[in-house]
Amino acid sequence: MRYGVLSTNVLSAICAYQTYLISMFLKIYTQVLITFLLAVLSNSAMSGESDSGQNRVPAKFYFLDNTALYFGDIDETVNHFISATADKEINRLIINSRGGDVHFGIVFGYWIHENQIDVEVTSLCMSSCANYIFTAARKKVIRPSALVIWHGSAEQKNLREKNEKYEEYLALSLSGKTSREQEEYLASDKLRYENFSRLLSEQRQFFKNINVNEYVTRLGQEPINYKRSWVATVEVMNKMNIQSISAPAGYGSPDYMQTYHPAQIDRLVSFGLNIQEEIKKLD
């Protein structure tokens, strides 16, 4: 009997150790696979930092345990991605994207916010990715040499001014005081105005729901338009109520840019709280 008890204990210990080894192997395998996908997809997808229509990057997504990976444009693929998460317990998203559609960016952001997803940027998160995905995350991780880049939103000044012009002409039209040119403008700009108004309403409600100051999406444009995209330090992002950020020391500062992205210094504005005028501008 003592031998039998001993054998049972030994077998239990062996089984437990085997289970541990399998668990460790799966964790290592998952991490290696994630690293491989990042190396293959990030390098090809993030070859440039422009989100122009001429350089679209088809979106791809993958799932590994509780981690989702999304690479490329933010577009209707977001709907397929969200549908695919229905039977999964995802709590972490690794994303590399130069941005894309505002509406789908907001849809993605709501999914992240409602499901309390942690977001990790390993290369680039720009435009709609920065505006709606990074801001909505429970925890935000910016890996060494990665960048979160802002360059405007539906709230930016030139777009608001277009709507104000349309509304001014519309008011004149309703009172019968428009010129022929103004009526032609109203007819040609009607679809843009309606689409923009819808997106602006969506964006305002989104930032209200996630409790983030949308001014971060206009920081490099108002009151001074630097005519460049921009990065912001963790301190500035905290000021905009973007909290729980893990980033390399000095992230977003001129020194960080000089160390990791010297070629981008002339293309990006770096915002930090070391200049009194900037602090006043954020208040």
pLDDT of residue 178: 81
Comparing CA positions, the residue from 115, 163, 108, 165 lying closest to residue 131 is: 108
pLDDT of residue 80: 97
pLDDT of residue 64: 94
pLDDT of residue 103: 96
Q: What are the CA-CA distances from residue 152 to residues 81, 254, 259 (Å)? A: 25, 21, 26
Q: How far apart are CA 22 and CA 279, in angstroms?
A: 52
> Any idea which residue has 């989100």 for tokens?
51
The DSSP string of 252-267 is: TSHHHHHHH-GGGTTT
Name the token pair of 178. 């428009």
The DSSP string of 24-81 is: HHHHHHHHHHHHHHIIIIIHHHTS-S---GGG----EEEEETTEEEEES-BSTHHHHH
Q: How many C-beta atoms lie closer than 10 Å to residue 131's C-beta?
A: 31
42-153+215-282 CATH pick, 3.90.226, 1.25.40, 3.40.50, 1.20.140: 3.90.226
Q: How far apart are CA 221 and CA 174, in angstroms?
A: 33
The half-sphere exposure of 47 on its side-chain side, counting CA atoms within 13 A, is: 7
CB-CB contact of 207 with 215 (8 Å)? no
Type of residue found at 34: I
Angle made by CA atoms 274, 140, 54, in degrees to the nearest 5: 90
CB-CB contact of 232 with 271 (8 Å)? yes
Sign of the Cα pseudo-torsion (168, 170, 175, 181, in order): positive
Comparing CA positions, the residue from 139, 145, 129, 146 lying closest to residue 217 is: 129
CB-CB contact of 148 with 264 (8 Å)? no
Q: Where are the beta strands (DSSP E) in the chain?
A: 60-64, 67-71, 92-97, 118-126, 140-142, 147-149, 229-232, 245-246, 268-271
pLDDT of residue 185: 82
Q: How far apart are CA 89 and CA 105, in angstroms?
A: 21
| pLDDT tens, residue order, the chain (283 aa) | 444 544 555 556 555 555 545 544 444 444 444 444 454 444 444 444 434 344 678 899 999 999 999 999 999 999 999 999 999 999 999 999 999 999 999 999 999 999 999 999 999 999 999 999 999 999 999 999 899 999 999 999 988 888 888 888 888 888 888 888 888 888 888 888 898 999 999 999 999 999 999 999 999 998 889 999 999 999 999 999 999 999 999 999 988 988 888 888 788 888 886 544 554 555 5
pLDDT of residue 3: 46
